[in-house]
């Protein structure tokens, strides 16, 4: 039995599934101005990490999420669909939440810079972001209340970025 377990472990280590998936997006506002970039990758712990490197964002507190469709073509960015939801509810203030794509609100000061790393414990990049219709990063005009269904009552979508796979 011990030998069998060892054999399975060795096979597991050799499997390509252990290569960490990584995606990135250029983020643009409704006028087509580039606001920066977002990168999301899996880690050995199973918690995904998102890195936001943004500037020229309007000052204020903004909801930021990963949305379920990799399509920023609509002028209001509704083409990106709802949140990457899995089988969970929206927000950390909800018993069955949060969605895998829910992030903490982003505070942007007068310099327009938003730089932060975010842990996403329920997100798996391969499963949720690299599915057939892709995924997008979205910045909202307003604040996510972490509670209202289905999306935190965060208001208009002011910026969007289609996430695509990064290959080393
Ligand atoms: Cu959103
Ligand atoms: Zn959500």
Q: Tell how far the Cα of 150 is from the centroid of ligand 1, in angstroms.
A: 10
CB 52 within 8 A of CB 114: yes
Superfamily classification of domain 20-165: Superoxide dismutase, copper/zinc binding domain (2.60.40.200)
3-state DSSP assignment of residue 34: strand
> Per-10-residue mean pLDDT for the chain, 168 residues long?
47 53 97 98 96 97 98 98 97 98 98 98 96 97 98 98 89
Max CA separation in the chain (angstroms): 63
What pLDDT is recorded for position 1? 45
Counting ligands in written order, which one lies closest to the CA of residue 149?
2
Q: Tell how far the Cα of 88 is from the centroid of ligand 2, in angstroms.
A: 9
| Residue from 28, 23, 26 nearest 157 by CA | 28
What pLDDT is recorded for position 20? 80
The residues spanned by each domain of the chain are 20-165
Q: Tell how far the Cα of 19 is from the centroid of ligand 1, in angstroms.
A: 28
Residue 88, burial from CB neighbour count under 10 angstroms (0-12, 13-18, 19+)? middle
What pLDDT is recorded for position 167? 79
Q: Tell how far the Cα of 149 is from the centroid of ligand 2, in angstroms.
A: 8
């Amino acid at each position: 039995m011990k030998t069998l377990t060892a054999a399975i472990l060795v096979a597991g280590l050799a499997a390509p599934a252990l290569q960490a998936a990584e995606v990135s997006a250029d983020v643009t506002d409704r006028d087509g101005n580039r606001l920066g970039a977002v990168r999301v990758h899996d880690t050995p712990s199973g918690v995904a990490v998102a890195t936001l490197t943004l500037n020229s964002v309007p000052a204020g507190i903004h909801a930021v999420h990963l949305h379920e469709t990799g399509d920023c073509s609509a002028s209001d960015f509704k083409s990106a669909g709802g949140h990457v939801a899995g089988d969970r509810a929206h927000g950390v203030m909800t018993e069955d939440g949060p969605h895998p794509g829910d992030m903490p609100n982003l505070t942007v000061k007068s310099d327009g810079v938003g730089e932060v790393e975010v842990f996403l414990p329920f997100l798996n990049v391969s499963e949720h972001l690299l599915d057939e219709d892709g995924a997008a990063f979205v910045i909202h005009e307003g604040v996510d209340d972490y509670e209202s269904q289905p999306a935190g009552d965060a208001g208009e979508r002011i910026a969007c970025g289609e996430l695509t796979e990064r290959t080393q």
